[in-house]
A and B are shown apart, each in its own frame.
Chain A
Amino acid sequence: MAQMQMGAEGLRSLPALLQRNAAQYANAPAYREKEFGIWQCWTWAEAAKEIEALALGLLNLGVNEGDFVAIIGRNRPYLYWSMVAAQAVGAVPVPLYQDAVAEEMAYVLGHCGARFVIVGDQEQADKVIEIQDQLHQFEHMIYLDPRGMRKYDHTRLHQFSHVQDQGRAARDELIGELTARQAKLDYDSTCVMLYTSGTTGKPKGVVLSNRNVIQSAKNSAEFDNLTQAENILSYLPMAWVGDFIFSIGQAYWCGFCVNCPESADTMMTDLREIGPTYFFAPPRVFEGQLTNVMIRMEDASALKRKMFHYFLAHAKKVGGDILDGRSVGLLDRAKYALGNLLVYGPLKDTLGYGRIRVGYTAGEAIGPEIFDFYRSLGINLKQLYGQTEATVFITVQPDGEVRADTVGVPAPEVEIKIGDNGEIYYRSPGTFVEYYNNPESTASTKDAEGWVATGDAGFFEEGSGHLRIIDRAKDVGKMADGAMFAPKYVENKLKFYPDILEAVLFGNGRDRCVAFINIDLTAVGNWAERNNIAYASYQELAGHPQVLASIREHVNEVNKSVAEDPMLSGCQVHRFVVLHKELDADDGEMTRTRKVRRRIVEEKFADIINALYDGSEKVSTVTEVTYEDGRKGSIRATLTIVDAEVQPVAAQKVAAE
């Protein structure tokens, strides 16, 4: 009824959607969070009351229209409410990565000039207090968890629940103002500002309007038939556009329930308890789970192990086809049903995927074997391609057309064109408004007609019409002989091996390629334990001759597979080192979303790269590292350089392709 009164036209802001949900789905769960071992639940009606109290409290503190309210913390209902409450009073929420160090926060908070900061706990509060002298516009901080905060100077500090209490107390006085401000919100008002992690340079503030968020949420929800009955688990950083769209945009559009884990460490248990119907995870989560399953099956009884491998082999053969609705023989179907009863069902339940209808992975390429494993179990895992500037969606895979090596067809209402240099451009209702306070960057990314350059190179596949991504456009280069250099392509192939966590390929403008490799401590450590190999540190394990030998095997395999691609056969790895430390965001080598900052790695480890090219067998190096608390130290290491087997390169040059 409420919807009819307002009409679809009235739903042009998240606070408006909240009011619709509170009326239409009043008693349906909107938020759940596990606290003290029990799932606490808020219905839409209750959530609307909480958000209203907070919004009134923010008015009471003096939040003005257009102010920026920074939000820092792990995924909790209270912080999601904070975003909507900030919108309701006409302010702009700016979620920040909670694992960012104080300096990074200082840049973002200073850049947007946030007057108010809402933090989850003491750890985040301390970081803001540390940098507050640099922040001229910062005025008040609100904290959620009072633990350890009692003795802090409370002139500019407020406890979350007190702000709400004050808001409730002042309701009569302020509700008129709140209603007036909410009524002013329309499709063009700013919904949120999200800072991109920035593989190069400083983070940029991407301004997204209500139109961007609501249209994208609506289109994508219709694409996958999302309903009010979905349950999602919100555990990915709140500062990331994906979480904003899933946990706020789509959740508010559809009215489904957002579940927050008890802590980051309990995510897997909570996942199983909730059993989400709609799920999103970066490839590393799926990889981690698969590794876990395989390790645990090694310890299972002989019968269980046999059953597991027998039925898994069958699933591999027909599972994907059954999921895609292709024709499969009756006998195979019966066997698959039996497997589902005995193996797939219980396994999915253990993983927390028992009820999944739609699952997405994005952010990085996923290994085809991992992807196929989940799909063969009957989990509808799909890929999408997107970015913050597009409000996530550029391409998505429709049900029944899912493949590991493409990212799908253009999402609803998205137009795509491929530039002369292979770069992908798009235009959609989700196209961002601007980079905050950065007209040059806005102009260089978005042209007058609204086309946005993604910075990625790719092409549409003949026949299927699916988009394939090759690499970041600026990373694609040429080797000395003119052959194409696409590092990501080779790195992804390397990273599909469970014991390789990260790989960085060099070779732009050179005559051959070399690589850095990071081992995966969990997988390699487990292997070492099984084989009675003793090691005292990451560094020692990474330099172990047997580890180097097995990594060399992987590199050789990858070279073989790269050699088969005529376009990229020049990118084979001639020599490599296994690095003595993990590439880390705290050292600036990666972004907070774990993408390698190529240029910085290249500069920082220039001595190792030289050694890779000048033919030396060992290289000694000193590397500066930053600890989690910001202190700096250094590690010394002597690394062994390993030669890999290289396949003969196909003679033809590829420029004509």
Chain B
Amino acid sequence: MLDNTGSYVTEDGRTIGGVVMEMKNITLRFGGVVAIKDISFDIREGEIRAIIGPNGAGKSSMLNVISGFYVPQEGEVLFHGKKRPPMKPFEVARQGIARTFQNIALFEGMSVLDNVMTGRLNYMKTGLFAQALWKGKAEAEETANREVVEKIIDFLEIQHIRKTPVARLPYGLKKRVELARALAAEPKLLLLDEPMAGMNVEEKEDMSRFILDVNDEFGTTIALIEHDMGVVMDLSDRVVVMDYGKKIGDGTPDEVRNNQDVIDAYLGVSHD
């Protein structure tokens, strides 16, 4: 189903495939407020696609449209070339889309391990009763899923907090646990809502490395929203810039960096 035209190999040797998801003339309103105005862009297989913009630009709304949580009033979302109908969150997850949240949404009282296990929910077929008894099929299933989860724990280097309740963790680690849970769903498309917000430089560097590693090792397509321009420019293959609900730039980090509209939006324009 993939549109394979335009696939290419990046400088660092990754293959970027055809278009996975396409936004066509999306407009999203909340009552009288226009959050997103006539925006079109696409996401290609295997790339890291960033959406940036000043506060209130409509980035999170855009991510919610991509994830299917918001249904735009106008325009259409094409997933693998097909128009996507309105869906429930679990249906989105089954399509291979997973996300993290700007404000961490983990089960605070549960251990890191249990939190990450919840990411495997779509892969568990046995019923509640069988799982409670934990015999035969249910046990085998949990073992298999635990193995996947343990590999992710190893990958993100959070072995030391495996059994720690999430509430006791510092912020930077919680963000990493959220990423682990999203990865546990083995997504094709991973949406990250400000993965680096509120982190110090060292935590940002760690997180950047994990994002690159995920993309590289698993070939996961990643769409991310981020405030930190430096991080975005280093990480992403292509960047969409939004301001006041409109798209003001789209292209490689270098193209975007030299775009006058983008410079104005970020630095402000003098009015005299």
Contacts and interface: CB of A to CB of B under 8 A. Distances in A.
Interface of A: 35-38, 147-148, 150-151, 262-263, 265-266, 269
B159 A266 contact: yes
A265 B146 CA distance: 21
Contacts of B146: 37
Contacts of A38: 150
B203 to A, nearest CB: 14
B13 interface: yes
B159 A37 contact: yes
16 contacts: A36-B153, A37-B150, A37-B153, A37-B162, A147-B217, A148-B213, A148-B216, A148-B217, A150-B216, A151-B13, A262-B159, A263-B160, A265-B159, A265-B160, A266-B159, A269-B160
A36 B216 CA distance: 21
Nearest to A147: B217
Interface string B131-156: 00000000000000011001101110
Contacts of A150: 216-217
B12 interface: yes
Nearest to B148: A36
B160 A36 contact: no
A150 B218 CA distance: 12
Contacts of B12: 151
Given A37-B146, A263-B160, A269-B160, 19 more contacts: A35-B154, A36-B147, A36-B151, A38-B150, A147-B155, A147-B213, A147-B217, A148-B216, A150-B216, A150-B217, A151-B12, A151-B216, A262-B159, A263-B157, A265-B159, A265-B160, A266-B159, A266-B160, A269-B163
A22 to B, nearest CB: 30
Band of interface residues on B: 10 to 19
B34 to A, nearest CB: 42
A262 B163 CA distance: 14
A150 B163 CA distance: 31
Interface of B: 12-13, 146-147, 150-151, 153-155, 157, 159-160, 162-163, 213, 216-217
Contacts of B155: 147
A266 B146 CA distance: 19
Contacts of A36: 147, 150-151, 153-154
A151 B155 CA distance: 18
Contacts of B213: 147-148
Nearest to B150: A36
B155 to A, nearest CB: 8
Nearest to B213: A148
Contacts of B159: 37, 262-263, 265-266
A265 B176 CA distance: 16
Nearest to B154: A36
Which secondary structure dominates chain B's binding surface?
Answer: helix
A36 B153 CA distance: 8
4 A-B pairs closest in CB distance: A265-B160, A36-B150, A266-B160, A37-B150
A259 to B, nearest CB: 15
A37 B151 CA distance: 9
A40 to B, nearest CB: 12
A526 B224 CA distance: 37
A148 B159 CA distance: 19
A445 B159 CA distance: 45
A36 B149 CA distance: 9
A260 B155 CA distance: 18
Contacts of A147: 155, 213, 217
Contacts of B157: 263
B191 to A, nearest CB: 24
Contacts of A265: 159-160
B209 to A, nearest CB: 9
A546 B46 CA distance: 55
Contacts of B150: 36-38
A209 to B, nearest CB: 39
A151 B219 CA distance: 13
B143 to A, nearest CB: 10
Contacts of B13: 151
A60 to B, nearest CB: 28
Contacts of A37: 146, 150, 153, 159, 162
A184 B75 CA distance: 79
A147 B209 CA distance: 12
A150 B253 CA distance: 26
B71 to A, nearest CB: 39
Most B Cβ at <10 Å: residue of A36, A150, A262 = A36
A263 B154 CA distance: 10
A269 B161 CA distance: 10
B131 to A, nearest CB: 20
A584 to B, nearest CB: 16
B216 to A, nearest CB: 7
Nearest to B216: A148
Nearest to A264: B160
Contacts of B151: 36
Nearest to A122: B213
Contacts of B153: 36-37
A269 B160 CA distance: 8
A420 B168 CA distance: 59
Nearest to B147: A36
A179 B270 CA distance: 81
Most B Cβ at <10 Å: residue of A37, A148, A150, A263 = A37
A38 B151 CA distance: 12
A63 B216 CA distance: 33
A148 B209 CA distance: 11
Most A Cβ at <10 Å: residue of B12, B146, B155, B159 = B159
A510 B151 CA distance: 60
Contacts of A262: 159
B41 to A, nearest CB: 28
Contacts of B217: 147-148, 150
A591 B160 CA distance: 27
B10 to A, nearest CB: 11
A78 to B, nearest CB: 15
A352 B113 CA distance: 23
A264 to B, nearest CB: 9
A651 B13 CA distance: 77
A407 B8 CA distance: 67
A464 B59 CA distance: 76
A148 B216 CA distance: 8
A269 B13 CA distance: 40
A147 B216 CA distance: 10
Nearest to B209: A148
Nearest to B158: A265
A32 B146 CA distance: 21
Contacts of A269: 160, 163
A147 B213 CA distance: 9
Nearest to B146: A37
B147 to A, nearest CB: 7
A150 B147 CA distance: 22
Nearest to B163: A269
A262 B158 CA distance: 11
Nearest to A262: B159
A182 B157 CA distance: 39
Contacts of B147: 36
Contacts of A151: 12-13, 216
Nearest to B205: A629
A147 B217 CA distance: 8
Nearest to A34: B159
B140 to A, nearest CB: 16
